Amino acid sequence: MRQYKAVQYRMFLIAAVSGIASLMSSSAVSPAAAEPATEQQAFNNACRTCHVTREGDNRLGPNLHKIVGRKAGSLPDYNYSSSMKEADFVWDEAKLERFIASPDEVVAGNKMKPYSGLANKEDREKIVAFLAKAQ
């Protein structure tokens, strides 16, 4: 129970710091100087707090190396939720895009809290493109 609360607290802190950093970076750039995020920047902004694309480098979330074509919940060295372990699909670009948009709609009971989805379709598409290249 104590370990669960510690993990829950860390996730809250990560979300809070990420939100503050996002607000600070977006308000510090003038609209004239703002450029669209690259694929890597979109990934970093939305995913890097918990995930990386280096093989074997699991963080709060599993590594996303070669995620496209991988069976959901199948990395042997990561402790997935039971719902993710039991998910019967292989990640493709369309499934990833839907999951990034709304994880609970794709796999109810996943461990992505406090992340609840990314509304910006363009950013989702950039993240999926980045992940497809991280092969």
80 or 5, higher pLDDT: 80
Does residue 45 share a domain with residue 2?
A: no
pLDDT exceeds 50 at position 46: yes
Q: Are residues 25 and 89 in the same domain?
A: no
Average model confidence (pLDDT) across the chain: 84
**Residues 67 and 80 occupy one common structural domain:** yes
| 40 and 23 assigned to the same domain | no
Give residue 135's pLDDT: 78
Band of the pLDDT at 36, cuts 50, 70, 90? confident
Distances (CA, A) of 31 to 35, 46, 65: 8, 21, 34
- In this prediction the pTM is 0.73
Domain count, the chain: 2
Give the CATH number for residue 71.
1.10.760.10
Range of the domain at 104: 36-133
- Write the pLDDT tens digit of every residue in 85-116: 999 999 999 999 999 999 999 999 999 989 99
Does one domain contain both 31 and 43?
Answer: no
**Residues 16-37 as b or e (16 or more Cβ within 10 Å = b):** eebeeeeeeeeeeeeeeeeeeb
Instruction: Indicate whether 83 and 93 sit together in one domain.
Output: yes
